[in-house]
């Protein structure tokens, strides 16, 4: 009885182990997974932990995620403490020596980013401020260009046999980038004013020269009170911004109300790859974001 059980167990384990030696890459956010897929193509197997419908600030460490991280050869994450609520517990519980902090497999994409809004002093009375700076840099082409380079070099390090393949793919990606960049550069957003729900579009504003004059959240992570909404309506009426920017996971209840009261339209900006069907990869995400802002 017991030997038969063991046999079945062993057979099961053999069946469960992957047949082709693809590099297992686990990414926290959809855009990171998509970027890695563009570089690694069929040489890597990408698993993304966070769904495009989820608020990246509030993700729960599910056991299924622990299992994904356990299998990872490389763990790619956003960094700047965006994943602080779930990633440390996933990494420890994964029991995976390849992706522990301090190893090359523990890959913080923000190391290539010129971080903005790094607070000089911070405490939580300011709301859920990210003490290492604004973590939502994925809408910034200049930063993602470098992140793509960094991911390529890391893939080449972890999987040296395919280093040439990854670097060739990066070159192709960079060509595409230069082509798109010309198009994006023609987006006329310079000097325009917007109101945003959360401090989510600062890198976009920084790169494309527009201004965010107010936030629907009174403080990061704190939902607006009735009094605050009144102040935002007053601000919107007085300054007449182009639009109120939000993302799908904040819902449209508050922005619809704001929009009706102030006469300023709202735009649901795709926040990540997969947020809308058209956002297939990082390039089309940027296309969609800039098209939405026009």
Partner 1 sequence: MGTFIIFLFLGLLLGTPSVWAETLEERIKKLEETIQKQQEVLKDQQKALEDLKDQSKQAKVAEPPSAEPPPPRDYRLDDRSRGIYVPSASPLTPYSLTKQVTTPGLMNPAISVILDTEYYHSTLSRQELESRSAPGYLDPQEAPFKEGFNLRAIELGFFAPVDPYFNLYATLPVTEDGIELEEAYFVTTSLPAGLQFKGGKFKSGFGRFNAFHPHAWDFVNAPLAYKLFFGGEGEGLTEKGAQLTYLPNLPIYTILGAEVLQGDNDTLFGPDGGPHAYTGFVKSSLDLGANHSILFGGSVVGGKTNTGSFAPDTELKGDSVLYGLEFTYKWKPSRWRSLILQSEYLYRHQKGDLTDTVALTRDSLKRNQDGLYVQALYQIDRWRIGARFDRMAIFKDEVLLAGEKQNYSGQPYRWTGALEFNPTEFSRIRLQYNYDKSDPNKVNQEIFLQFLIAVGAHGAHAY
Q: How far is CA 143 from CA 33, 76, 114, 166, 179, in A?
A: 16, 16, 7, 19, 17
Distance CA 53, CA 128 (A): 21
221 lies in the binding site for partner 1 (CB under 8 A): yes
Q: At what angle do helices 141-158 and 30-40 cross, to 10 degrees?
A: 60
How many residues bind partner 1, per CB under 8 A? 85
- Binder of partner 1 out of 35, 61, 72, 269 (CB under 8 A): 61
CB 269, CB 201: distance < 8 Å: yes
20 lies in the binding site for partner 1 (CB under 8 A): no
Q: At which residue do the structure tokens 């393949």 appear?
A: 165
Minimum distance from residue 55 beta carbon to partner 1 (Å): 5
Q: Would you give the DSSP letter of residue 90?
A: H
Q: Which is nearer to partner 1, 124 or 237 (CB)?
A: 124
Minimum distance from residue 57 beta carbon to partner 1 (Å): 7
Beta bridge pairs of residue 266:
244
Closest CA to 269 of 253, 256, 285, 281: 285
55 lies in the binding site for partner 1 (CB under 8 A): yes
Minimum distance from residue 230 beta carbon to partner 1 (Å): 20
Contacts of partner 1 in 187-216 (CB under 8 A): 187-190, 206-209
Contacts of partner 1 in 113-172 (CB under 8 A): 113-115, 124, 127-128, 131-132, 141-143, 145-146, 149-150, 152-154, 156-157, 167, 170-171
- Binder of partner 1 out of 71, 180, 193, 261 (CB under 8 A): 71
Q: Is the dihedral of CA 246, 249, 254, 259 positive or negative?
A: positive
Closest CA to 196 of 251, 255, 155, 115: 255
Q: Which is nearer to partner 1, 183 or 231 (CB)?
A: 183
64 lies in the binding site for partner 1 (CB under 8 A): yes
Q: Which stretch binds partner 1 (CB under 8 A): 12-20, 28-36, 271-279, 281-289?
A: 12-20
Contacts of partner 1 in 85-114 (CB under 8 A): 85-97, 100-103, 108, 110-114
242 lies in the binding site for partner 1 (CB under 8 A): no
Contacts of partner 1 in 253-292 (CB under 8 A): none
Q: Which is nearer to partner 1, 45 or 167 (CB)?
A: 167
Closest CA to 192 of 143, 262, 245, 260: 245
Q: Which is nearer to partner 1, 111 or 256 (CB)?
A: 111
Q: Which is nearer to partner 1, 184 or 280 (CB)?
A: 184
- Binder of partner 1 out of 42, 182, 226, 227 (CB under 8 A): 182
Q: Name the pairing type of β-strands 44-48 and 23-27.
A: parallel
Q: How far is CA 159 from CA 61, 104, 138, 152, in A?
A: 28, 12, 25, 10
């Amino acid at each position: 009885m017991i030997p038969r059980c063991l046999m079945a167990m062993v057979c099961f384990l053999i069946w469960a182990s992957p047949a082709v030696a693809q590099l297992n890459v686990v990414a926290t956010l959809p855009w990171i997974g998509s970027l890695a897929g563009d570089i690694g193509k069929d040489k890597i197997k990408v698993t993304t932990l966070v769904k495009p419908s989820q608020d990246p600030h509030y993700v729960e460490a599910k056991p299924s995620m622990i299992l994904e991280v356990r299998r990872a050869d490389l763990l790619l994450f956003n960094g700047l403490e965006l994943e602080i609520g779930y990633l440390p517990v996933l990494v420890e519980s994964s029991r995976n020596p390849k992706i522990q902090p301090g190893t090359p497999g523990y890959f913080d994409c923000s190391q290539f980013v010129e971080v903005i809004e790094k607070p000089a002093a911070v405490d939580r009375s300011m709301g859920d401020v990210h003490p290492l700076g604004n973590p939502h840099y994925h809408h910034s082409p200049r930063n993602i260009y470098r992140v793509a380079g960094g991911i390529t070099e890391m893939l080449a390090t972890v999987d040296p046999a395919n280093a040439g393949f990854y670097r060739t793919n990066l070159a192709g990606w960079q060509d595409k980038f230069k082509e798109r960049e010309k198009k994006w550069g023609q987006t006329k957003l310079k000097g325009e004013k917007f109101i945003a729900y959360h401090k989510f579009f600062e890198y976009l504003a920084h790169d494309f020269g527009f201004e965010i004059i107010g936030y629907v959240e009174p403080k990061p992570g704190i939902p607006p009170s009735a009094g605050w909404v009144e102040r935002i309506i007053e601000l919107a009426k007085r300054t007449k911004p182009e639009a109120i920017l939000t993302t799908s996971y904040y819902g449209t209840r508050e922005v619809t109300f704001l929009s009706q009261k102030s006469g300023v339209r709202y735009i649901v900006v795709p926040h990540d790859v997969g947020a809308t069907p058209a956002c297939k990869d990082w390039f089309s995400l940027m296309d969609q974001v800039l098209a939405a802002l026009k």
